[in-house]
Amino acid sequence: MFPVPREHSPSDLVTLASVEQRCRLKVAKRGGWTEQLLSQCMCSARQVGDSPWQRIRLYKGDSPRQQTERGGMGRSQGLATGWSSGNSFLVHRAASAQQKSRLRRWACGCLVVVGLVALFYGTRAPLAACVGERGGSDSGTSSGCPATYDRLTVADIRAGAKPYLLGGQAKNCVHCQDEANYISTFCQFQHGREGGICEPWLQDQLIKHFLDVPGYEALLTLTPCDLWKLLKGRTLWMSGDSQTQDFYKAVHCFLYEITPRLGYTPIEGGDKGVFQEGAVVGWYPPGCVDMPGNTRLCFIRSDDGPAIFGKLIPMLQQLAQPQDVLVINFGLHWSADYDGELRNLTAQYPALRRTGFPYMIWKDTPVQHFDTRLGEYPGGKPPFQCTKLGGDQLRLGDDHTLEILDEDLAVLGKGGWRNELSNAAMQDAGIPIIHTYNDTAPLHEYHRDNGAGHECTHHCHPSGPQVWVHALYQTLSANQDNIAVRPLPT
């Protein structure tokens, strides 16, 4: 279990300051040899290391998951990763091979000290510099991330760089060169090569939308390594209807360069026969994408309450581990007792969790854009005309809430009647929610032809499902300490 965060007093604070401040080491009550050695190493490295204005703050008592001023890394991990960044610069800038060798030995010696201090403070420090790996949030990578992504800025994107979430590729990508593989071509969002891909002008319009509307900077600059570091050593299980299937595809595409191969491993016994009632197989049979470091992404199609209770939960009780995370939704295939099914799920969850069931996160039901008052499916067969939700009586505010001008549309401000019920049930049970309804409400132009004609439920890629990936990242980030069970070693 991670320790509960607490308030920090001045005596807990160690500040490793910038070169301009002469690398002052402020220690209120401890001034032993470890701090002095650490100070000497740090001050030397920081002359050529990170930005002179950056600082690392260390707090005794922090959990390994607690956020710090170095991009969300743990206390001692943030220190050691900053070190590997500084030492790598120092080694790379050495004038000769002899200097490089001598400086690398010096760097590794210093990092041994850092490691001892890190162990004293209760967490492990990566010795990345000893193998020449540079890690740091500025580069868009994290320790052990299998691919390299330079951190884009909003200015880069305005100048024409494509956000990674919307099809931008890793530096020196490998899988992106496999033009014969469906996953590669789909995940590069090449319109015309695969079905379900947004037209190029829509993709360009979407980037402009995210640039013009306040609050999307983090979405635009998100890297796969940001999500990866939250999943390392865990399985992310995703289960729901065809909308969750699209969600899974978006997560898979975001991480596909991290996967060792462009394949999918069916779950043993997880063929179509397992789901004869209440669920069907879609893009893939129930199965998983394997990633390095004991990490997996798995999808199991379960359309409604009976499939969740009768098939999914028993299956996960056999296959899942307590350090895993389950993202779940059922809503479009609702029953007459939808609220009762939601309450049944939340009532069962505490006992399931105590017996090793994954940490559960609820995903809200996505918005639809049919030409009806509330945007819901009117019945019939495609093609359909998709329209702006709420017409001129609804807009997305700068704070990403929906501003409703017509009182008859007030339920849309609560995410529609399904989300009004599910949000209340999950909040009462303390289950986190991935909120996506508001941010996808303006995307009425981003629906696709399902093979029988244009419809207004499923989105083309990249659009709504990629918004959901960023919302997943936000929700995982906010609940790292609550997941509580440590991931497997990576």
DSSP-derived secondary structure for 122-167: TS----GGGGT---BGGGTB-TT-SS------HHHHHTTPPPGGGT
**Dihedral (CA of 129, 176, 204, 226) sign:** negative
pLDDT in tens, 360-398: 999 999 999 999 999 999 999 999 999 999 998 888 888
pLDDT in tens, 265-293: 888 654 443 333 333 334 457 889 999 99
Tokens of 257: 């360069």
In sequence order, the 6+-apart residues with CB closer than 8 A to the CB of 133 are 84, 88, 143
Q: Does residue 130 surpass a pLDDT of 50?
A: no
In sequence order, the 6+-apart residues with CB closer than 8 A to the CB of 234 are 294, 295, 296, 323, 324, 325, 487, 488
Q: Does residue 166 surpass a pLDDT of 90?
A: yes
In sequence order, the 6+-apart residues with CB closer than 8 A to the CB of 196 are 186, 448, 458, 460, 461
SS3 370: strand
Helix (H) or strand (E) holding 16: strand 13-16
Mean pLDDT across the stretch 150-162?
Answer: 96
CATH number, span 182-483 = 3.40.50.1110
Q: pLDDT grade, residue 109 (50/70/90)? A: low
Tokens of 24: 């002052």
Q: Alpha helix (H) ranges present in 6-74? A: 33-46
Backbone phi, then psi, for 299, in 5-degree steps? -130, 135
- Residue extents of the structural domains in the chain: 10-139, 182-483
Peptide bond into 286 cis (omega under 30): no
Length of the chain: 490
| Residue 248 to residue 442: CA distance in whole angstroms | 22
How far, in whole angstroms, is CA 327 from its chain's centroid? 12
Cα distance from N-terminal residue to C-terminal residue, the chain:
18
Q: Which of 353, 377, 357 is nearest to 365 (CA)?
A: 377
Q: Which of 247, 239, 255, 245 is nearest to 320 (CA)?
A: 239
Q: pLDDT grade, residue 434 (50/70/90)? A: very high
Tokens of 306: 């009976």
Tokens of 313: 């939960």
Q: Does residue 456 surpass a pLDDT of 50?
A: yes
Q: pLDDT grade, residue 84 (50/70/90)? A: very low
Helix (H) or strand (E) holding 359: strand 359-363
